[in-house]
Amino acid sequence: METIVMEHIRLPKVENVRLIDTVTSRRASVGTLYLTATHTIFVENETEILTETWVLHSLVFSVEKQASTTTGCPLLVRCKNFQVLQFVIPQERDCHDVHVSLLHLSRPEHYEELYCFSYNANSDREDRRKAWDFINLKAEYSRMGLPNHLWKLTPANHHYKIIGMVSDTYPADLYVPKSATPPVIMGSSKFRSRGRFPTLSYYYKENHAAICRSSQPLSGFSARCLEDEQMLEAIVRSNPRSDFMYVVDTRPKLNAMANRAAGKGYENEDNYSNIKFHFVGIENIHVMRNSLQKMLEVSEAHFPSMSYFLEGLESSGWLKHIKAVVDAGVFITKAIAEEGISVLVHCSDGWDRTAQVCSVASVLLDPYYRTLKGLMVLIERDWVSFGHKFSHRNNHLNGDPKEVSPVIDQFLECVWQLSEQFPCAFEYNERFLITIHHHVYSCQYGNFIGNNQKERTELQEKTHSLWTYLWKNRTDYINPLYRPDHSQTQGVLRPLTAPYCFKFWGALYNRFDRGIHPRQSVMEYLMAIREETQQLEEQLDRMADDIEASSMFAYPWRIGNICTICKENMSEQAKHVFSYGIHIETAVEASSMAGQEGCWYKGQQYARTEGLIM
Amino acid sequence: MEFSEHIKTANVEDVVLRRPFYQPTKGTLCVTGHHLIFSNRGGDSARPFLLLLRNIDAIEKRPSVSSGTITLKCKDLCVLQLDIPGMEECLNIASSIESLSSLETVSEMYPFFYRPPFLSLQDQWGLSSTEQHYAQMKEIHDGWRVSQVNRDYSVSPSYPPAVIVPHSIDDETLVKAARFRQGGRFPVLCYYHRETGTVIMRSSQPLSGANRKRCREDELLLQAVIDGSELGYIIDTRSSQQAQQARMTGGGFESKSCYRGWKRLHRQLEKGKVLQESLIKLVEACGDQSHSVDRWLSKLENSKWLSHVQTALSTAGLVAECVERDGHSVLVHGSEGTDTSLLVSSLAQLILDPDSRTLAGFLGLLEREWVQAGHPFQQRCAHSAYSHVRLRHEAPVFVLLLDCVWQLARQFPLAMGFSEPLLLRLAKEVYASDYGTFLCNSDQERCVTGVKERTHCLFQSLLRANERQHYSNPLYERTELAIWPSIQPPSLQLWKGLFLQWTDDALHLVEAQKVIQNLVSQCHRPLNEKVENTDG
């Protein structure tokens, strides 16, 4: 595999390359550009401290060679984590070679070429295997109280085949109403796109109402399917306190109607007894892709006026789409928690908008999904196991650009918007969401490789799991304001969805334009003082023990082994070590700033775990 | 004047009050000379609801046969509703509110009647005088002096009696220079930057007029400021076109040939009617009940409020950059020198000066740069965003300042000694207050009407021990460095705490603030106790 990759590198090293600061476009640094099997590395010349910029090939979204000027040939690299790098390479020929190399390197043809298969996180095979069990969906369903007298686990898809009918995009373990017999499941499966029949996503044990999900029915203009109708009836019956259910079609009505011409469509209320049908109008993947593109153009503009920014934000439509997803989540939450009515959610295939809406509703309904582990479980359940097409949507391999769409990005943003509205309700912080976003694209971990569980099981074995990495470093991701006992934290969240509640998420989309971020962070300050307090408390405890043990009178007031800079300057130190840009310079800067082994080590370690140095 | 003339019905029973965050309650409504008092009939221990009539910006009444509804839109942007039984009562109450809320005689206003037990009228009014301020700045005593040239307000009616000017300029020169500046507002010192020894000055526009008049004394005054160094900057808060046009009406600008060593830069800041309309549009947008994001963003953009915030901060940043990075002195002025000049000079000071970022330092800055410097508060804040009255001199320049300060504090949450509640309190007090601080348009008016003898000072009240804690920033860590704000659009946000303060959204944020406060005090307290124990 290594050799295949190496073949793409036409030019491993170019000197006298300039890296232009795209934000100010004033400063440029001169250095050497290296192409490795996994990263593009830019090393600045003649700086006191080592300044390097590393970019993973899998994070490269596009490489654009621009017209040569007298100073050289500009190469614009846009990344999927919204980093934009502009290099100027002295020789056009070299620029061409780098361009071609990067095009190949950033668009691998085979899964085996992805970074997760070469990334080695210093753990042995056994640990790596065990790490994959960290998030266990069986445990998640039993946490919800399943199986029980209303819902059962069906073996129908255990070999990724519904009896006689392939459903390779669904997980093996599926929960269905107790009364759903195999023929009903099979019949319903045949009547749904890709065999994705209605199955359980979330069960609200307080009142037995459930969120179910599926793909669209193959109803065309008039087709019916008795088993599918029975399937929905079974869902209604598995909620003993209600006599009807909602069917939420997340598409705009027009799109759903157009699908009827292709033999697909939506449920006819006349054929299904006891359903109330409801459209929520979330746009499709193509609209979302273009919308993000427009928004990024606005956010990348150099010193735009306020009006340009707000007009651009409006015309991109991005926040409107985010609001549509949250609105749909709120609708479902009300149905479940307040009315006690079960809901079936679908779109066309049931792996994009359906995943968004089901998971947003889960976050609103259940405080568990507002914890670190809970969000991992939720993503694992509604996205990974239910066949969100990560490889296609996030462009892991060289594929159809029309399949790419920021669907999970929007989910993460919905969670962020909610966390801005309820600052004490979420155990995790913004950095957690941004890190997940980063790794959904980075291909450093095996979690998001492939398009469905079937594909993934074969690939994952050789890779590491993101969740255990995040869990190990969880102190970085804790929201210091989280109050599990707080009134706004308990139970169901009832967010406002007025338009002014939706803000541009600068920390993600302008992640690398550090100039626009708040210059000081409340969260980091609080995290730092908490850590400092803990450290000092431990010190004190130890010293108290020492005093007791040795019964010495004069114990010199020294803070033993820990770095004095850490102690005295903890907030400053923490700011650098944890400062968010995935730039190696940050870590190295922090190390050299601290100037002591303890801190230096910390900085290095941080850089290493982030995959910045190997 | 008797307030009772305006009060036809003083008491109404069974009135229903609807206000944000509360269930509708039934009780008794009482109109007094300065307040609406609503007390809950149930007789529970809850305090009666008190509304300063001055706070009411607009009143809408909908009488019907046997009852009526009055909607009160307040200057603090709160909207209340009163359901009043009896049409006559409803009309009487409405007309009392209308006339009492728009009284214009300063000495009849509530601050002249407010006598809280914790303050005494014998106390010094205000935090500091020009002389006291000067005395504290030892480092400027060589080059600068206090001039009493305006002691009887004859040189400049809107200036305080004492101002700080270059040592080498005598009062006679000042008098002549004042004649060459609109409203007599000759250039005075507002900030001295220790690190570079350069200053920020402010003034009004020079009256050079259509035939480019000169004033030797004015030129001398400015020459004295940059004595020794070769360059100074004049930041004109008008566009160069506006400055040119001002010549037609007797105003003008400092021409390059007459003011050697001074370089003029134009940065257009809106004020007056444009700014007031911007606020009105913004508040209207925030109250829009439609659920379209497009419409919201388009209205937000259309209000231009955030553009004004951006321009104000960027101009202040420019001034600060001249002083700190380039080491050159700056003179700021627009036309009258009572609005945008104050905005820019005070923001620049916040960026540069750590002393102005403490709670007391910030209030001192507001006192010097706004109250004493003659911002016409009474004219600018007569009405807020809801009023239907034809606009005269209203303009939310001070609110814009507070918004910019909030943006600074959001970008540097540890650098300010004061908290958002202080800014919100000021935004409310500037329109309707128990205190006399924001009454009148100038120091002179304040003396004539007896504000300083017969009212209490807000700033002093805010610095009392029990208030201090509420208005202090728990995260404050003093930094000596300048705090350079980002003026990129994504860095500037709508100030929800002010403009959306009556929505649930703001409620959650207030709770979060409390959690932060507890967290900080928790982290510090037990540890200190423990250290003491271990030491023992």
A284 is in an annotated binding site: yes
- Token pair 């943003």: residue: A413
Q: Do A310 and B306 touch (CB under 8 A)?
A: yes
For the cut 80, the answer to whether the pLDDT of residue A113 exceeds it is yes
A142 is in an annotated binding site: no
> Facing residues of A478 across strands?
A428
Q: Do B291 and A497 touch (CB under 8 A)?
A: yes
HEC secondary structure over A85-143:
EEEEECCHHHHHHHHHHHHHHHCCCCHHHCHHHCCCCCCCHHHHHHHCCCCCHHHHHHH
> What is the average pLDDT across A569-582?
35
Cα dist. A584→A359, A528, A536, A607, B242 in Å?
34, 21, 29, 6, 50
Position A155 confidence tier, pLDDT thresholds 50, 70, 90 = confident
Q: What is the pLDDT of residue B512?
A: 84
* Between B450 and A597, residue with greater pLDDT: B450
Q: What share of chain B in percent tops pLDDT 90? A: 65
Position B536 confidence tier, pLDDT thresholds 50, 70, 90 = very low
Give the distance from residue A509's alpha carbon to the nearest chain B alpha carbon, in angstroms: 10
Number of other CB atoms surrounding residue A307 within 10 Å: 15
A116 has catalytic annotation: no
DSSP string, B291-303: --HHHHHHHHHHH
For the cut 90, the answer to whether the pLDDT of residue B43 exceeds it is no
What are φ and ψ of residue B120, in 5° steps? -120, 140
Q: Chain B partners of A305 at a C-beta cutoff of 8 Å?
A: 307, 310, 489
A252 touches chain B (CB under 8 A): no
> From CA A55, how far away is CA A100, in angstroms rounded?
16
> From CA B339, how far away is CA B335, in angstroms rounded?
9
Q: If you measure CA to CA, which chain B residue comes closest to A508? A: B490
For the cut 90, the answer to whether the pLDDT of residue A460 exceeds it is no
> From CA A363, how far away is CA A361, in angstroms rounded?
5
Q: What is the pLDDT of residue B41?
A: 64
Q: If you measure CA to CA, which chain B residue comes closest to A518? A: B411
Q: What is the pLDDT of residue B344?
A: 97
Catalytic: which of A79, A116, A212, A347? A347
Q: Do B413 and A517 touch (CB under 8 A)?
A: no
**Could you say which residues from 471 to 490 on chain B have a Cβ atom under 8 Å away from some Cβ of chain A?**
475, 477, 483-486, 488-490
A503 touches chain B (CB under 8 A): yes
Q: Do B523 and A310 touch (CB under 8 A)?
A: no
A518 touches chain B (CB under 8 A): yes
DSSP string, B479-497: --S------SGGG----HH
For the cut 70, the answer to whether the pLDDT of residue A273 exceeds it is yes
- Token pair 């271990």: residue: B534
Position A483 confidence tier, pLDDT thresholds 50, 70, 90 = confident
Q: Do B505 and A320 touch (CB under 8 A)?
A: no
Give the distance from residue B529's alpha carbon to the nearest chain A alpha carbon, in angstroms: 11
What is the DSSP-derived secondary structure letter of residue B367?
Answer: I
Beta strands in A191-324 (DSSP E): 199-204, 209-214, 245-249, 275-279
pLDDT in tens, A213-252: 999 999 999 899 999 999 999 999 999 999 999 999 999 9
Average pLDDT of every residue of chain A: 84
pLDDT in tens, A297-325: 998 887 789 999 999 999 999 999 999 99
Q: What is the pLDDT of residue B476?
A: 92
**Could you say which residues from 303 to 362 on chain A have a Cβ atom under 8 Å away from some Cβ of chain B?**
303-311, 313-314, 317, 319-320, 323
Position B67 confidence tier, pLDDT thresholds 50, 70, 90 = confident
Structure-block tokens of residue A100:
């071609």
Position B356 confidence tier, pLDDT thresholds 50, 70, 90 = very high
Position A192 confidence tier, pLDDT thresholds 50, 70, 90 = very high
* Between B532 and B325, residue with greater pLDDT: B325
HEC secondary structure over A588-603:
HHHHHHHCCHHHHHHH
- Burial class of residue B123 (count of CB atoms within 10 Å of its CB; 0-12, 13-18, 19+): exposed
Position A578 confidence tier, pLDDT thresholds 50, 70, 90 = very low
> What is the average pLDDT across B364-381?
95
> From CA A510, how far away is CA A470, in angstroms rounded?
23
Position B529 confidence tier, pLDDT thresholds 50, 70, 90 = low
For the cut 50, the answer to whether the pLDDT of residue B376 exceeds it is yes
Interface probe, candidates A295, A485, A520, A540, chain B, greatest B C-beta count within 10 A: A520
Q: If you measure CA to CA, which chain A residue comes closest to B293? A: A499
Q: If you measure CA to CA, which chain B residue comes closest to A529? A: B523
Q: Chain B partners of A540 at a C-beta cutoff of 8 Å?
A: 527, 530-531, 534
Q: What is the pLDDT of residue A23?
A: 62
ipTM of the complex: 0.91
Q: What is the pLDDT of residue A310?
A: 95
Q: Chain A partners of B489 at a C-beta cutoff of 8 Å?
A: 304-306, 308-310
Instruction: Evaluate whether A55 touches A79 at the Cβ level (below 8 Å).
Output: yes
> From CA B206, how far away is CA B183, in angstroms rounded?
10
> What is the average pLDDT across B91-106?
88
Give the distance from CA B74 to its chain's centroid: 18
pTM for the whole thing? Answer: 0.89
> Facing residues of A154 across strands?
A174
Q: Do B512 and A423 touch (CB under 8 A)?
A: yes
Q: If you measure CA to CA, which chain A residue comes closest to B504? A: A496
Cα dist. A252→A227, A353, A413, B526 in Å?
26, 11, 21, 56
Q: Chain B partners of A517 at a C-beta cutoff of 8 Å?
A: 486, 491
Of B395, B181, B431, give the one whose Cα is nearest residue B270. B395
> From CA A109, how far away is CA A107, in angstroms rounded?
6
A548 touches chain B (CB under 8 A): no
- Please state whether beta strands B67-74 and B56-63 pair in parallel, antiparallel, or not at all (unpaired): antiparallel
- Please state whether beta strands A13-20 and A28-35 pair in parallel, antiparallel, or not at all (unpaired): antiparallel
For the cut 90, the answer to whether the pLDDT of residue A24 exceeds it is no
- Token pair 């305080």: residue: B160
Q: What is the pLDDT of residue A607?
A: 46
Position A516 confidence tier, pLDDT thresholds 50, 70, 90 = confident
Q: Do B503 and A496 touch (CB under 8 A)?
A: yes
What is the DSSP-derived secondary structure letter of residue A575?
Answer: H
Q: Chain B partners of A308 at a C-beta cutoff of 8 Å?
A: 489
Q: Which of A373-387, A505-519, B412-426 has the lowest mean pLDDT?
A: A505-519
Q: Chain A partners of B300 at a C-beta cutoff of 8 Å?
A: 310, 500
What are φ and ψ of residue B154, in 5° steps? -85, -25
Structure-block tokens of residue A575:
């700011």
Q: What is the pLDDT of residue A1?
A: 52
What is the DSSP-derived secondary structure letter of residue B110?
Answer: G
Of A448, A447, A411, A427, give the one whose Cα is nearest residue A366. A427
B503 touches chain A (CB under 8 A): yes
> What is the average pLDDT across A197-202?
95
Interface probe, candidates A283, A314, A537, chain B, greatest B C-beta count within 10 A: A314
* Between A417 and B261, residue with greater pLDDT: A417
pLDDT in tens, B204-258: 999 999 888 999 999 999 999 887 677 899 999 999 999 999 999 999 999 888 8
**Side chain identity at residue B201, one-letter code:** M
What SS3 state is found at A511?
A: coil
Residue B340 CB contacts under 8 Å (≥ 6 apart), including other chains = B237, B269, B271, B312, B334, B397
Cα dist. A488→B268, B271, B319, B421 in Å?
45, 41, 44, 21
**A318-333 vs A407-421: helix axis angle to the nearest 10?**
70
For the cut 90, the answer to whether the pLDDT of residue B75 exceeds it is yes
Q: Do B490 and A310 touch (CB under 8 A)?
A: no
What SS3 state is found at A78?
A: strand
> What is the average pLDDT across B319-337?
93
Cα dist. B219→B147, B213, B253, B258, B533 in Å?
18, 12, 12, 7, 67
Cα dist. A197→A157, A166, A214 in Å?
11, 12, 5
The H or E element that residue B61 is part of is strand B56-63
Of B312, B294, B313, B459, give the one whose Cα is nearest residue B372. B459
A214 touches chain B (CB under 8 A): no
Give the distance from residue A531's alpha carbon to the nearest chain B alpha carbon, in angstroms: 10
Q: What is the pLDDT of residue A614?
A: 37
- Please state whether beta strands B329-333 and B198-202 pair in parallel, antiparallel, or not at all (unpaired): parallel
Average pLDDT of every residue of chain B: 90
Q: What is the pLDDT of residue B122?
A: 83
For the cut 90, the answer to whether the pLDDT of residue A290 exceeds it is yes
> What is the average pLDDT across A514-530?
81
